[in-house]
């Protein structure tokens, strides 16, 4: 028996190519360990092809290969292609939970022995993270050889039905019409899909926008060179990522983080891997018993996206993950600001685009202002149009002078009510539904604040935002960004801002 797999097969999707890379990585690891395969099983590996050949019973060979490839270690999934036996325990946990949350989320795909716990000390001065996980006795990949062969043990020559665990999203559309709505693949393609979990990566999502509709992100890389991708996936920064790196704020954050574990441009150039597909799986009302595919992005981080990558680097530096003490040990909160910014960057939009439409309630605005310190730094450090920066600066000055007026008009012994002014500005922005209504709002806002130095100096540059020559919705987003990111400066009166210590305590802790 001889089978040849080619990366350029026209029937391959991104997931098939990931599966081929996973098979390449597995065979390379078996070769490195000096394992002796049965039935004269041999393979030849190149940067785009894999050739398998053997003698004897097909099912015996396939069963041996799958048993060697998909193993268990103390109840945790152990992938030969990742050399999982030599991975850190928290990195093994990432793979185990990620596969169970994406490919194997249905209980029929695995047999569990019960729940177990594992704890990790990620930071010396932080509490341990305690993880509860499902320990396994077996899972479907280990016993799939019989599904690829007929009753005589020969490799099938007809298509096989592909279940959702083999190709997430490729499921029967209607049980009453299973024969006509099921998804089928040639047996060679189904075999390749078995190894996709080896090459893919996984994130647990802490989304503020999608809630239960996005709980896990499956990262499917775009692979053009099997050998080079194997080097990328087994690079220490990705293969041995800490448990803290298992969390992402949203789809864009997951995709960009996967592509930028080191210097993004350098990795993309060295490993020839610039794009990935992000598939989210979460709970929907019509199928609450399992995770369903709820969204899909194609994320790019190529060398010509220097501004995008720099803005994501700045975003990650100011909205980084950290371990927080909780009732049951440490936990890692999500970042609402990073979710908004990263999703815009993944779509190649301005990093603040759509802010006013997405942050459309007092509750969401409060979550965003928990991270005002990082937002303020983004307004100063991010790469975006200079006139946009000037507009934000003018709005910051208007907010500052508005707060100062409130402080000056507050009776001695009373606390200035800055919150009411903030709510008034936010609700005023939310009522702007046209260029005319926004023009009315912004001119009134600036006029009531008084003489704004940035507006006086850059009048001609900023008039386009008022007259409608610039996109009024973009200007509304910038105005809301200014309100959410306003931070006390040395020139403010003492009463004209939130207490500095209180603000610092809130930064980066949405949802607590």
Q: Tell me the per-residue pLDDT of 191-216, one tens digit each, with 9 for 90 and over.
A: 999 999 999 999 988 888 776 555 78
Confidence (pLDDT) at 268: 45
Nearest alpha carbon to residue 296 among 333, 348, 248, 254: 254
Residue 355 inside a domain? The answer is: no
What contacts 415, CB < 8 A, 6 or more positions away?
495
Confidence (pLDDT) at 199: 95
Confidence (pLDDT) at 16: 96
Strand 201-205 with 247-248, pairing: parallel
Half-sphere exposure of 263 (CA within 13 A, CB side): 6
Domain count, the chain: 2
Residue 363 inside a domain? The answer is: no
Confidence (pLDDT) at 506: 28
Q: Does the pTM of the predicted model rise above 0.85?
A: no
Q: Does 403 share its domain with 285?
A: no
Calpha distance 403→184 (Å, rounded): 64
Final residue of a structural domain among 247, 282, 297: 297
Confidence (pLDDT) at 414: 85
- Contact between residue 356 and residue 428 where contact means Cβ atoms under 8 Å apart: no
Residue 63 inside a domain? The answer is: yes
Residue 314 inside a domain? The answer is: no
Nearest alpha carbon to residue 334 among 347, 344, 324: 324
Residue 144 inside a domain? The answer is: yes
Confidence (pLDDT) at 15: 95
For the chain, give the percent of residues with pLDDT over 70: 83
Residue 267 inside a domain? The answer is: yes
Q: Does 426 share its domain with 277?
A: no
- Contact between residue 9 and residue 60 where contact means Cβ atoms under 8 Å apart: no
Confidence (pLDDT) at 177: 38
Final residue of a structural domain among 297, 316, 346: 297
Calpha distance 243→332 (Å, rounded): 10
Could you list the residue range(s) of the whole structural domain that residue 203 is in?
Answer: 2-297
pLDDT tens-digit series, residues 437-495? 999 999 999 999 999 999 999 998 898 888 876 689 999 999 999 999 998 653 454 33
pLDDT < 70: residue spans in the chain = 122-123, 125, 169-182, 211-214, 262-273, 282-294, 323-331, 469-470, 488-512
């Amino acid at each position: 028996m001889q089978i040849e797999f080619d990366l350029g097969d026209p029937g391959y999707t991104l997931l098939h190519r990931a599966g081929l890379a996973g098979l390449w990585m597995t065979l390379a690891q078996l070769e490195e360990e000096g394992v002796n395969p049965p039935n004269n099983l041999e393979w030849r590996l190149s940067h785009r092809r894999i050739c398998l050949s053997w003698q004897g019973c097909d099912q015996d060979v396939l069963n041996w290969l799958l048993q060697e490839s998909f193993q268990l270690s103390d109840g945790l999934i152990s992938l030969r292609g990742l050399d999982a036996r030599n991975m850190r325990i928290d990195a093994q946990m990432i793979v185990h939970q990620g596969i169970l949350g994406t490919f194997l989320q249905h209980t029929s795909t695995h047999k569990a022995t019960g729940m177990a716990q594992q704890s990790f000390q990620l930071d010396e001065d932080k509490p341990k993270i305690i993880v509860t996980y499902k320990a396994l006795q077996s899972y479907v990949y280990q016993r799939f050889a019989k599904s690829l062969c007929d009753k005589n043990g020969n490799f099938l020559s007809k298509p096989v039905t592909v279940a959702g665990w083999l190709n997430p999203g490729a499921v029967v559309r209607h049980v009453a019409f299973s024969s006509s709505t099921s998804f089928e693949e040639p047996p060679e393609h189904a075999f390749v899909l078995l190894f996709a979990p080896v090459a893919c990566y996984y994130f647990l999502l802490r989304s503020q926008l999608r809630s239960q509709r996005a709980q896990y992100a499956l990262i499917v890389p775009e692979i053009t060179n099997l050998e080079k991708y194997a080097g990328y996936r087994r690079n220490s920064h990705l293969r041995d990522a800490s448990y803290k790196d298992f969390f992402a704020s949203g789809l864009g954050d997951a995709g960009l983080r996967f592509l930028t574990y080191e210097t993004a441009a350098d990795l993309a150039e060295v490993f020839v891997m610039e794009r990935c597909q992000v598939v989210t799986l979460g709970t929907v009302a019509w199928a609450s018993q399992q995770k369903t595919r709820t969204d899909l992005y194609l994320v790019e981080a190529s060398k010509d996206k220097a501004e995008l990558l720099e803005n994501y680097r700045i975003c990650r530096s100011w909205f980084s993950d950290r371990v927080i003490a909780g009732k049951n040990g440490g936990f890692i909160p999500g970042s609402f600001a990073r979710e908004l910014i990263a999703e815009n960057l993944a779509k190649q939009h301005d990093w603040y685009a759509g802010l006013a439409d997405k942050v459309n309630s007092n509750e969401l605005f409060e979550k965003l202002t928990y991270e005002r310190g990082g937002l303020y730094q983004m307004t100063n450090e991010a790469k975006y149009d200079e006139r946009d920066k000037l507009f934000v600066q003018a709005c910051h000055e208007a907010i500052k002078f508005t707060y100062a007026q409130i402080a000056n008009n507050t009776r001695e012994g009373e606390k200035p009510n800055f919150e009411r002014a903030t709510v008034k500005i936010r609700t005023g922005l939310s009522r702007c539904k046209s260029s005319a209504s926004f023009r009315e709002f912004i001119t009134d806002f600036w006029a009531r604040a008084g003489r704004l130095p940035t507006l006086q100096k850059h009048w001609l540059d900023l008039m386009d935002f008022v007259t409608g020559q610039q996109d009024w919705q973009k200007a509304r987003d910038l105005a809301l960004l200014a309100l959410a990111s306003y931070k006390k400066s040395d020139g403010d009166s003492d009463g004209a801002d939130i207490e500095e210590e209180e603000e610092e305590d809130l930064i980066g802790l949405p949802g607590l």
